[in-house]
Amino acid sequence: MSLREPPAWNGPSADPNDEQFGDIVEPATVADASEFDAVLVGEPYDGAVIGRRGAREGPAALREALAGVKTHRFGAGPVRSVGDLGGVEVPDADVSSVQAAIRETVREIHACDTLPVFLGGDNSLTYPNAAPLLAGSLGVINFDAHLDCREIRGEPTSGSPYRQLHEAGLDAYACVGARHFETSTAYAEYVDEQGGEIVTSEAVGNDVESAAERALDAMAGVDTVYVSVDLDVLDATAAPGVSAPTPGGLTTRELFRLLRATAADDRVAGFEVVECAPPLDSENLTAAAGARTIAHFLSGHNGDSS
């Protein structure tokens, strides 16, 4: 286990009635992680990105943005009981070695009785984040513009984590928010061959509730669900600070509704937000969206998906 100490959290508002995540997030260790409903884990790495880098700065930006987000959601009340385990020590090595090292650290975190929330970091980390859960039957719901199931030629990349998971025994897969003209026919066919579900961004726009139901129906029969959000699932206007921003994506409101519905499933055993790249961002829009993505998921995980 190799984790850096978590940063100090502070709510930036001077109003004592403005309870923010900066006021409630507490430092945590693996030994006491089970005392929290959820724990944050930073993963500052972007060595496997296809395209523009910058996601190694994502964890710090997401924490800073989340610190100023208020804890209250209408109809559900405040989010409580969140710890911060700090950041994973990422070795200076090739992608395969980085994945192996992170997987060993993450394995111990998954053994704790809490919900790990991984702050990426690039999408290649999805494989080590989810792989320890393959000891049982596992399904992954991937909110993403892309399918990320590329063939591995040499080292893994940010475009190959679901190929790795399928080859390791993944039982179910759903990609929500996939965009037309953003993937290759071969990879769409690969997902079909694996029995996966593809819910396009247009389908989400037509009926958010139906899109959430399709994703959860695809998880039928699995014991555990892992949820991943690649922030490029959002339209480029809402999330310009990602490796591959494109038009035609989800709105933040659509994503937040989908996440609350997904988080309420009691099989969810892990959550991540990846590909937040602050050097590529505009006015912190992507970090702000990512922070609220975390807040909505935690609120839904507390049992209120409305």
Q: In terms of residue numbers, what domain contains 137? A: 3-301
H/E stretch holding 23 reads helix 21-24
79 found inside a domain: yes
3-48 residue pLDDT tens:
999 999 999 999 999 999 999 999 999 999 999 999 999 999 999 9
Q: Is the bond preceding residue 22 a cis peptide, omega within 30 degrees? A: no
Are the CB atoms for 126 and 228 separated by under 8 Å? yes
Q: How many domains does the chain have?
A: 1
267 found inside a domain: yes
191-221 residue pLDDT tens:
999 999 999 999 999 999 999 999 999 999 9
306 found inside a domain: no
19 found inside a domain: yes
Instruction: Name the pLDDT band for 1 (thresholds 50, 70, 90).
Output: low
CATH of the domain at 29: 3.40.800.10
249 found inside a domain: yes
Please give the span between the terminal C-alpha atoms of the chain, in angstroms, as a whole number: 37
263 found inside a domain: yes
Question: How many CB atoms within 10 Å of residue 231?
Answer: 32
